[in-house]
């Protein structure tokens, strides 16, 4: 009886609560697994970090560093593109809040669509807003970090006689580039999980299934893809 009263007071049906809990747990666990867990297993992020240091070490040895500036510019443009796209998505989601009741009725008519209250619909939109706000902060911080790396490249002195004497400067730039790449990567993951959250508008079971699929796809691409294998072999 007490459990029924508790479930009845929840702002969401129990199945939606379960889907939301699975979604949050899967996202947090995968970020911990991919970025913070100590492992020797080859990963796309770790292999990229290794090549970034090689690139910066070669940069220090060059007199003309226009190539390095162009590489940094391309990295920055990628973050800028996603940051601006994220702002457009957020604007659309905020506008959608004003049509919650009408949009909920349209989706309820779709196959496997679930009839929900206007409040639940707004909560689903709010989840997407939070996801893409998170993505925007990640992309915008990545842009700032790439900008700082450009300044450090510009501050690099002429090639030293021994490049290893410039190791602290190489490590400094390498770390910031890796931080920027990490933020960009987390922003991209937010887009993947945003697709899973979008499935919640149809049915919570579909959200659970697609969240599981997103984790599988991310794991395959970051640990078992041909790209990772090529970077290891070379």
- Nearest Cα residue to 89 out of 190, 225, 9: 190
Whether the Cβ atoms of residue 196 and residue 8 lie closer than 8 Å to each other: no
Of these ranges, 32-41, 148-157, 170-179, the one predicted with the greatest mean pLDDT is 170-179
Cβ burial of 117 (10 Å; 0-12, 13-18, 19+) is middle
Whether the Cβ atoms of residue 202 and residue 19 lie closer than 8 Å to each other: no
How high is the mean pLDDT of the chain? 83
Predicted confidence (pLDDT) per residue in 76-86, tens digit = 999 999 999 99
Say what the pLDDT of residue 4 is. 47
Length of the chain: 234
Task: State the Cα–Cα distance between residues 68 and 195, nearest whole angstrom.
Answer: 35
Q: Where are the alpha helices (DSSP H) in the chain?
A: 2-8, 14-31, 44-61, 66-96, 100-108, 118-154, 167-199, 204-219, 226-233
Task: State the Cα–Cα distance between residues 110 and 124, nearest whole angstrom.
Answer: 17
Q: DSSP secondary structure string, 134-180?
A: HHHHHHHHHHHHHHHHHHHHHT--SPPSSGGGGHHHHHHHHHHHHHH
Say what the pLDDT of residue 224 is. 86
Say what the pLDDT of residue 186 is. 95
Say what the pLDDT of residue 122 is. 79
48: Cβ contacts below 8 Å, ≥ 6 apart: 181, 231
Say what the pLDDT of residue 163 is. 61
Res. 5 pLDDT band, cuts 50 70 90: very low
Q: DSSP secondary structure string, 179-195?
A: HHHHHHHHHHHHHHHHH
Say what the pLDDT of residue 66 is. 86
Say what the pLDDT of residue 79 is. 94
pLDDT of 3 above 50: no
State whether residue 43 is helix, strand or coil.
coil
Predicted confidence (pLDDT) per residue in 95-133, tens digit = 877 765 665 555 555 555 555 566 777 788 899 999 999
Predicted confidence (pLDDT) per residue in 196-230, tens digit = 999 888 888 999 999 999 999 999 998 888 888 88
Say what the pLDDT of residue 80 is. 95
% of the chain surpassing 90 pLDDT? 41
178: Cβ contacts below 8 Å, ≥ 6 apart: 49, 52
- Nearest Cα residue to 150 out of 65, 79, 82: 65
State whether residue 61 is helix, strand or coil.
helix
Q: What six digits make up the tokens of 83?
A: 């940051």
Q: What six digits make up the tokens of 228?
A: 């990772």
Say what the pLDDT of residue 106 is. 55
Ramachandran sector of residue 112 (left: φ over 0; alpha: ψ -120 to 50; beta: rest): left
Say what the pLDDT of residue 214 is. 96
């Amino acid at each position: 009886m007490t459990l029924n009263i508790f479930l009845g007071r929840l702002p969401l049906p129990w199945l939606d609560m379960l889907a939301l809990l699975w979604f949050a747990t899967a996202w947090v666990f995968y970020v911990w697994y991919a970025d913070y867990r100590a492992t020797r297993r080859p990963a796309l992020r770790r292999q990229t970090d290794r090549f970034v240091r090689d690139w910066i070490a070669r940069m220090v040895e060059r007199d003309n560093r226009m190539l390095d500036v162009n590489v940094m510019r391309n990295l920055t443009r990628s973050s800028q593109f996603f940051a601006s796209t994220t702002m457009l998505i957020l604007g659309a989601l905020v506008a959608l809040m004003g049509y919650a009741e009408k949009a909920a009725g349209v989706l309820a008519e779709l196959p496997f669509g679930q009839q929900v209250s206007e409040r639940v619909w707004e909560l689903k939109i709010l989840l997407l807003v939070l996801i893409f706000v998170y993505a925007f902060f990640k992309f915008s911080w990545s842009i700032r970090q790439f900008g700082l790396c450009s300044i450090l490249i510009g501050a690099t002195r002429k090639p030293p006689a021994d490049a290893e004497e410039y190791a602290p400067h190489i490590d400094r730039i390498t770390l910031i580039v890796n931080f920027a790449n990490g933020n960009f990567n987390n922003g991209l993951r937010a887009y993947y999980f945003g697709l899973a959250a979008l499935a919640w508008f149809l049915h919570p079971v579909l959200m659970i299934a697609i969240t599981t699929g997103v984790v599988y796809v991310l794991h395959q691409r970051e640990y078992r893809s041909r790209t990772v294998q090529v970077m290891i072999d070379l």
